Amino acid sequence: MNTAVATVGTSASGKANMVSQYLIFSLANELFAVGTLRVREIIEYGNVTSVPMMPGYIRGVINLRGAVVPVIDLNARFGRAHTEISRRTCVVILEVQADNDTHVLGIVVDAVSAVRQIDSADVEPAPSFGTRIRADFIDGMAKVKGNFVILLDLGKVLSVEEIAMLGEVSHGPAHLES
């Protein structure tokens, strides 16, 4: 998992447990999480410029302090409808590794809930069925405050080939109107 290790403890069985921090957010009435090490910032949704001939799940690009950042509609990436924009909709700016390159991109989410520490002992493997997204997108499932949270594998959700394509988009014009 690509997460920040906050503490290391020992379980009753004597195995080392790692407690990692995750950013938890909602999307289509489900809770998802990504490791906080990957999160650069969270911004209000707005000023997204569409780019012709991009896959349907790419909303467009934003100008983030002079850098062109691709914005992915995570709900559409999961093969569902486009995210409905509301006053709580935001863009989570992430850093994603592909080969030796780091790419900055945004994902559209319904709302950010919290940052929580999750013990590795509380993470279950991804189920092979029953979720409404591809099983290979799921790094694990955790129960947080009585709710199941899907821990995303960003390397799979945002595959190397797609990141390379996004890199081509982000190397386009450096100046966008805000």
Query: For 30-82, how does the pLDDT look when each residue is reduced to its tens digit (9 = 90+)?
Result: 999 999 999 999 999 988 999 888 888 899 999 999 999 999 999 988 888 89
Q: Which residues of 92-123 are buried (b: 16+ CB within 10 A; e: fewer)?
A: bbbebebeeeebbbbbbbbeebeebebebbeb
3-class SS of residue 64? strand
Which CATH homologous superfamily contains domain 4-170? Answer: CheA-289, Domain 4 (2.40.50.180)
Between 57-71, 79-93, 160-174, the lowest mean confidence (pLDDT) is in: 160-174
pLDDT band at 4 (very low <50, low <70, confident <90, very high): very low
Residue 91 pLDDT > 80, yes or no?
A: yes
In the chain, where the domains are located: 4-170
pLDDT band at 161 (very low <50, low <70, confident <90, very high): low
What's the pLDDT at 10? Answer: 39
